[in-house]
Copies of this chain bind each other. A is one copy, B any other.
Amino acid sequence: MQLDVSSQTPGDETLLTMYRTMTLARACEARLRKGFGSGEFAGVIWPSRGQEAIAGGLSTALRRDDRLVTTYRGIHDLLAKGVPPAEIMGEVLGRGAGASRGKGGTMHITCPEVGVMLSTGIVGSGPPVAVGLALAARLQGSDRVVAVCFGDGATNTGSFHEAVNLAAVWDLPLVLICQNNQYAELTPVEETMRVERIADRAAAYAIPGIRVDGNDPVAVHNALSAAVGRARSGAGPTLVECLTFRYGGHYVGDPQVYMAKDRLEQAMRGDPFPRYERFLIEHGVADADRLAALDAASVAEIDEAITVVLDSPEASLGELEADIYADLAGVPR
């Protein structure tokens, strides 16, 4: 099945929004890394450095009331959907400012106010939940759309297969975004599947599957917009594979012993930032100074947020009794 993707360049505002999202994601990760490295604070993240262009496209393709499901490696996605940086960093650091005040952790950030209904640490388990979100949209008579992000490795899970099939059978308003960063933990994608393009897996469900350059926010924006449009119109789900790379290893601190040096170097030559900056400048959207200012604003926003986080109390013991159930009646003893 085919998907009709525009090859037009979006308007300047869209282009700059994407840039802002990308810089915000980069700044957030850099700030956390710095703090971990200096011993300022402790925590764990699964870096998305290299994958920011996908967040860029995501931030402009979705409506605010659209929903997002993502993974542990989803900080860029969360920022794209509008989760306040303090909620993200607060949760990473287990502080009161965190999205769930330290109870969830990096892997489990939700922010329903902006449509983030789930982040999950169980690989492959996001798509079934996203199917349910999309089904709810239909049953509630809303035209909102659900986007679910997952990795290349996740497409080998049974959960992925069942979910895509179900979404296809039910023509649900779902956009399946595979962030193919070519690695699952320590294992490169070519060792875990024989297909060359993950997008080709869509054929098993008779839905459109499309691969785009995941380091090009414009390509991502256009593909996602087409998929979102298809979903919103009631025509059903689309699998969008964004080919990208994971520059920072599996987790912060990963020595990446398994990584061929030239593979990483080669991949880093495709870094989404310099490319996109050149593009914006060449197309007269912004000059270098303007871009530097936007980047600086993102850094400042993150700096401000981390202050809020570090000023907030540590996760409170008083939290423990709450939220096991709606009330305490169900809790044994």
A304 CB to nearest B CB, Å: 44
Q: In this assembly, does A207 line the interface, its C-beta being within 8 Å of a C-beta of chain B?
A: yes
Q: In this assembly, does A113 line the interface, its C-beta being within 8 Å of a C-beta of chain B?
A: no
A188 CB to nearest B CB, Å: 12
A256 / chain B contacts, CB cutoff of 8 Å: none
A195 CB to nearest B CB, Å: 5
- CB contact list, A196-210 vs B, under 8 A: 196, 200-201, 203-207
Q: In this assembly, does A157 line the interface, its C-beta being within 8 Å of a C-beta of chain B?
A: yes
A131 CB to nearest B CB, Å: 13
A102–B163 CA distance with the chains assembled, in angstroms: 38
Q: Which has the most chain B C-beta neighbours within 10 Å: A162, A168, A207?
A: A162
Q: Which residue of B lies closest to A203 (CB)?
A: B203
A200–B204 CA distance with the chains assembled, in angstroms: 6
Copy count, this protein chain: 2
A304–B4 CA distance with the chains assembled, in angstroms: 65
Instruction: Determine whether the beta carbon of B204 is less than 8 Å from that of A195.
Output: yes
Instruction: Determine whether the beta carbon of A158 is less than 8 Å from that of B156.
Output: no
- CB contact list, A154-184 vs B, under 8 A: 156-162, 165, 168-169
Closest 9 CB pairs of A and B: A158-B158, A161-B161, A194-B206, A204-B204, A201-B204, A158-B162, A168-B194, A195-B206, A203-B203
A positions within 8 Å CB-CB of B: 156-162, 165, 168-169, 191-196, 200-201, 203-207
30 contacts between A and B (CB under 8 A): A156-B162, A157-B158, A157-B161, A158-B158, A158-B160, A158-B161, A158-B162, A160-B161, A161-B161, A161-B162, A165-B193, A165-B194, A168-B193, A168-B194, A169-B191, A169-B192, A169-B194, A193-B205, A193-B206, A194-B205, A194-B207, A195-B203, A195-B204, A196-B206, A200-B203, A200-B204, A201-B204, A203-B203, A203-B204, A204-B204
